[in-house]
Amino acid sequence: TTEIYTLSLHDALPICSTSASAATAGAAELAPTSLSTVLGAVTEISKAAQQKAFPGVAAPVNVAVSKRDGDFQNNTAMALFGMLKASGNMPAAIKAPKDVAETLAAAMQECDSEGIFAKVEPVAGFVNIWISKSWQAARVQNIVKYGVLPPPTEKKKAIVDFSSPNVAKEMHVGHLRSTIIGDTICRMLEFSGHEVERVNHVGDWGTQFGMLISHLKAVFPDYATKPPPIADLQQFYKDAKKIFDEDEDFKKRAHEEVVRLQSGDGSSRYAWGQICDVSRREFEKVYGRLEVKLTEVGESFYNEYIPPVLEHLQQTGVTSDSDGALVIFPPGTVHEQPLIVRKSDGGFGYDSTDMAAVWYRLFEKQAKWIVYVTDAGQASHFELIFAAAKYAGWVEPATRIDHVPFGLVCGPDGKKYKTRSGDVVRLVDLLDEAVSRMYAVTVEHNTERVERTKAEAEAHGHVAEDVALSDEEIREASRVLGYGAVKYADLKSNRNSNYIFDYDRMLDPRGNTAVYMLYTGARLCSILRKAGAEVGSAPAQALLAQTTLTLEHPAELAVAGALIRFQEALERATSTLLPNHLCEYVYDLCGKVSSFVRECKVLGSPEQNSRVLLVTASILTIKQTLALLGIGFLDKI
């Protein structure tokens, strides 16, 4: 129920309105900030054509990517025919749906002021559409001119709640997935123009802190003057738990400590803060490596909001009493468990905090889109929270609240991911391993390249060019490759399925991996270097400004066809919150570009300039798509 696929076409560029083109014709050219999807553009023309040919008939325009002949299909003729018949206003010339398709096709030609269509052909009850080569070329040319643009979107204030590990507990592979998927969702929304807040809903509150603080005070009595030297907070947690379970006195002290903490006692608060700091430093290691930005707004932040929010809920009449506990049974949910917003002992828990948090985000933050990224195990919790918020009347119809669930991380054996010794995996080690593997590979490639260049130079009797990467360049490349590989492996399949963590697969330079995309990108950059037209350089700018792209070879057309679908891929990934659509897109694009450079000579061919332009647009698009996936880019590997 959370994955609503909406195609926003309302902002697509006006096409059939002559005023729009007249307005831009004389004025100084303004760089566009967004670009309709090709499907959106075709839909707009079809809409205008329909209004022109059949005014007053409100059949929703149905345009789709073609499965057989042509690039797109307008499938509206049948519905239009039905409506004309029902209205009793059937034009004399229309006898069958095929006549509607013919009239529609003619009107579409007329409305196509930009020359998008190469051919529009009515067949029985629908219209087949072919996109013109020159229009495709112009779109690609614009990538080089204006950069890669997002599709038009209705801007929203969005809050993305992701990563969200728990203090003093292990930050496990599930949190790694949430971090990677959540960061990508933020990047997609930010690039689309939304105002995004990246929120780390850290689990920094709860009764376990009584035990942790008591243990801290016992083990590090001078905690108030020196930061406690806790090397392993999980071990610290385990030790505290052991004493808690065995020692009645300690248990009593721990309970008192919880009460003190909740009443705002200075020393308890201070000790709590120190424990959170130790955790925070651990979390930062992962975020730093992955270059993920997050603002911590932990559970504790919402404490003061809980009582008034509960009072408000009670006044609204959505709560009920269940054996002394305050609960909500939101209508329309099928769970046996209600939402427990106050426990029978008066305490607040996970449910209470999330109700306060959703209230805060909707009313204080005025968010119009809230996204929660956690494992699928929490699906029913969020279903209840969202349903309760709606039940309380908090959610406007235009507001979107999504739970973005994901599957488990499994080892190559298909079972839950563990180290060989059976311990939980430390995330930092896992990331470092990917980088060190890529370091070894990159060093090897570098040596090979140096030797190959030397041998070639000797054979031709000239001095070998210096092609060696510095150690710092190799290290940087390994980081981009290694972290990129981990992220891509996580993002490439539908997040709802379990994901297999397998270094050999994710680092395969010939597979559907970040390594493959990055190698492809670097190969393209090397072509441009040889052509003396590196992206962004002055000679490249001069050259591209006077180059017209010509698309003749099927491999060139295939690349152009992929390049102009970037907006569509991003729109699909954003509306469904499924980043795998972007992975599919970049993989397809890289495959097409690879075939293109294999089949079409760039350097020294009569089409060199046009092909340099196509390569440039490809680099820009690959780089942008990888950036949305949180993956860097390398000009040289």
Burial degree of 454 (CB within 10 A; 0-12, 13-18, 19+): middle
Q: Work out whether 166 is an interface residue with ligand ARG (CB under 6 A).
A: yes
Q: Work out whether 328 is an interface residue with ligand ARG (CB under 6 A).
A: no
78-86, 109-117, 158-166, 467-475 -> range binding ligand ARG (CB under 6 A)? 158-166
Tokens representing 476 are 């940087």
Residue 291 CB, nearest approach to ligand ARG (Å): 21
* 474-477 CB contacts, 8 Å cutoff, 24+ apart: 474/439, 474/442, 474/443, 474/446, 475/439, 476/634, 477/438, 477/442, 477/634, 477/636, 477/637
Task: Tell me the one-letter amino acid at 484.
Answer: G
160-168, 180-188, 499-507, 597-605 -> range binding ligand ARG (CB under 6 A)? 160-168
89-97, 162-170, 466-474, 552-560 -> range binding ligand ARG (CB under 6 A)? 162-170
Residue 420 CB, nearest approach to ligand ARG (Å): 25
- Cα–Cα distances in angstroms (integers) from residue 384 to residues 77, 331, 355, 608, in the given order: 43, 9, 10, 60
Residue 618 CB, nearest approach to ligand ARG (Å): 38
Residue 293 CB, nearest approach to ligand ARG (Å): 17
Closer residue to ligand ARG, CB minimum distance, 136 or 166: 166
Q: Among 122, 152, 203, 210, which residue sits at the site for ligand ARG (rule: CB under 6 A)? A: 203
Residue 175 CB, nearest approach to ligand ARG (Å): 6
Residue 488 CB, nearest approach to ligand ARG (Å): 24
Q: Work out whether 372 is an interface residue with ligand ARG (CB under 6 A).
A: yes
Closer residue to ligand ARG, CB minimum distance, 165 or 482: 165
For the chain, what is the radius of gyration of the CA atoms? 29
What is the C-alpha to C-alpha distance for residues 168 and 170, in angstroms, rounded to an integer? 7
**Of 544, 605, 592, nearest in space to 564 by CA:** 592
Q: Which residues contact 143 (CB under 8 A, 6 or more apart)?
A: 563, 617, 620, 621
Instruction: Please give the torsion angle defined by the CA atoms of residues 340, 346, 349 and 351, in that order, rounded to the nearest 10 degrees.
Output: 30
Closer residue to ligand ARG, CB minimum distance, 237 or 372: 372
DSSP summary character for residue 61: P
Closer residue to ligand ARG, CB minimum distance, 214 or 374: 374
Closer residue to ligand ARG, CB minimum distance, 382 or 483: 382
Closer residue to ligand ARG, CB minimum distance, 295 or 546: 295
Q: Among 84, 357, 384, 569, which residue sits at the site for ligand ARG (rule: CB under 6 A)? A: 357
**Of 4, 9, 2, nearest in space to 63 by CA:** 9
Q: Among 46, 164, 214, 625, which residue sits at the site for ligand ARG (rule: CB under 6 A)? A: 164
Residue 292 CB, nearest approach to ligand ARG (Å): 16
Closer residue to ligand ARG, CB minimum distance, 49 or 367: 367
What is the C-alpha to C-alpha distance for residues 177 and 151, in angstroms, rounded to an integer? 27
Size of the site for ligand ARG (CB under 6 A): 10
Burial degree of 130 (CB within 10 A; 0-12, 13-18, 19+): middle
Measured in degrees and rounded to the nearest 5, phi and psi for residue 599 equal -90, -25
Q: Which residues contact 184 (CB under 8 A, 6 or more apart)?
A: 487, 491, 579, 582, 628, 629, 630
164-172, 262-270, 322-330, 553-561 -> range binding ligand ARG (CB under 6 A)? 164-172
Positive or negative, the CA dihedral 229, 234, 237, 242 is negative
What is the C-alpha to C-alpha distance for residues 1 and 13, in angstroms, rounded to an integer? 31
**β-sheet bridge partners, residue 203:** 166
Closer residue to ligand ARG, CB minimum distance, 373 or 590: 373
Residue 25 CB, nearest approach to ligand ARG (Å): 51
Q: Among 47, 194, 201, 403, which residue sits at the site for ligand ARG (rule: CB under 6 A)? A: 201
19-27, 111-119, 159-167, 558-566 -> range binding ligand ARG (CB under 6 A)? 159-167
> Look-up: residue for tokens 């908090």?
394
End-to-end CA distance of the chain: 44
Site string for ligand ARG, 1-40 (x = CB under 6 A): ----------------------------------------
> Look-up: residue for tokens 């680092």?
507
Closer residue to ligand ARG, CB minimum distance, 351 or 571: 351
**Of 434, 595, 428, nearest in space to 514 by CA:** 434
Site string for ligand ARG, 479-498 (x = CB under 6 A): --------------------
The count of other CB atoms within 10 Å of the CB of residue 505 is 14
Q: By CB under 6 A, what part of segment 329-348 binds ligand ARG?
A: none
Task: Tell me the one-letter amino acid at 269.
Answer: R
Tokens representing 580 are 């795998």
Run of H or E including 373: strand 369-375
Site string for ligand ARG, 508-527 (x = CB under 6 A): --------------------
Q: Work out whether 300 is an interface residue with ligand ARG (CB under 6 A).
A: no
Residue 382 CB, nearest approach to ligand ARG (Å): 8
Q: Among 44, 102, 112, 161, which residue sits at the site for ligand ARG (rule: CB under 6 A)? A: 161
The count of other CB atoms within 10 Å of the CB of residue 519 is 19
What is the C-alpha to C-alpha distance for residues 19 and 581, in angstroms, rounded to an integer? 36
Closer residue to ligand ARG, CB minimum distance, 299 or 568: 299
What is the C-alpha to C-alpha distance for residues 470 and 317, in angstroms, rounded to an integer? 68
Site string for ligand ARG, 374-403 (x = CB under 6 A): x-----------------------------
Our measurement of the distance from residue 223's CA atom to the centroid of its chain's CA atoms, rounded to an integer in Å, reads 42
Closer residue to ligand ARG, CB minimum distance, 284 or 413: 284
Closer residue to ligand ARG, CB minimum distance, 313 or 531: 313
Q: Among 71, 183, 351, 354, which residue sits at the site for ligand ARG (rule: CB under 6 A)? A: 354
Residue 201 CB, nearest approach to ligand ARG (Å): 4
Residue 407 CB, nearest approach to ligand ARG (Å): 15
What is the C-alpha to C-alpha distance for residues 309 and 360, in angstroms, rounded to an integer? 9
Residue 174 CB, nearest approach to ligand ARG (Å): 7
Residues of this chain that interact with ligand ARG (CB under 6 A) are 161, 164-166, 201, 203, 354, 357, 372, 374
